[in-house]
Structure 1
C-alpha cells in the first residue's frame, strides 16, 4: 500500500552510504517518476543534473572552495563535509527549477511542483532500497558557477542517493489530529 511506503520514507545521509554504485537504469526510473509530478499549467518546471563518479569529486571541491571564499569564519569540519559528502554518494541529482518565462503562475507553485517531483523520486528510491537525502545548503545560490543554468533556472538543492546497510532511523511524527482543524 502507498501509505506504508510513505511512512517508510526516511532521510538517509551520505555518511550512511556503503559505496555500492547505482545503475543508470535505476536513476532513470527515479527521474521518470519525478516527471509525473503534478504541475499547474503544465509548466513542468523541474530540471535535473545527474552527478556520478568524477563529477561528484568536482562538486565537493567546488563546494569546499566556495564555502571557504564566502564564509567569514569558516569551520574546518564544515569545509571537510562539503568536500567529502558528495563523493560518499552513489549519485547526486541537482534539483533545479525552470521558471515559466511567461510567469503565468506564482513562483511558489513551480517550487511546489518541483518538490513534488522530488517526493516522487524519494518514494521510488525507498521502494528500490536506496537511501536519499535532500540538502539545500546556502551555497546553492552559487551553483550557476558550477552548472550551466538556463535563464530563469535556479538550483534548489541536491538529492543525495546511495545504498545503505543499517536500517534507517524511525522518526516519530506528532499526531495529525493536533495539526488539523475540521470545519
Structure 2
C-alpha cells in the first residue's frame, strides 16, 4: 500500500513538474483524470461522510481498499483517476530501525496507480481537488514487505479505468502480475526533503 511515492520520469513526459524522490501524503501530485492532467492533494478529507456505524469519517484517507471502494458510504460520489509514478516505498522492521524499500517497474518504465478523486470544500470557499490510491492484496513480489499494494494498471487499461463502468473497473482491481517489479533497499533518500 503506497505510503510514499517517487517520480523520476522526465517532466515533459508527465507534466511540467520536476522529478521528486520523496512524495508524501498531503502534497500535490500529478493526477490523470478524464479531463486531463491535474495537480491534486494526495489524501481525501471525507468531510460529511460517515462510516458503516453512521459516525463521521475523521482521518485523511490516502489509500482506499479495492474490496470496499465502490461500496462504502465514505467513498460515495467519488470520481476515478490515475496516478503516474516511477514507484513507491514501503518499510519493514521495528520502530526506529525500519528498512525502506524502493519498489519500481522491473524494466524502469512508469507505473499507473488506480485512484479515486474528490473535492474538499475548505473554509472560505476554496475547493481542493484530492486523490487517494486504490489498494489490493499484494502479489508475490510485495508480500514479504507489505500486506497491501496499490492497484497498478496496464497502460492499455488507463482509459478503461477512467471512463469504464464500475463492473469493468472492478476487474482491474487485482494484484500486479508476479515478477514485474524490482524491489531494492532505498538508500540515499532524504526523507525530510519535499
TM-score, normalised on structure 2?
0.28
Q: State the structure with bigger RCO (CA 8 A, min sep 6), 1 or 2.
A: 1
Going by fraction, where is helix more abundant, 1 or 2?
Answer: 1
More strand by share: 2
Q: Which has the larger radius of gyration?
A: 1
**TM-score normalised by L of structure 1:** 0.29
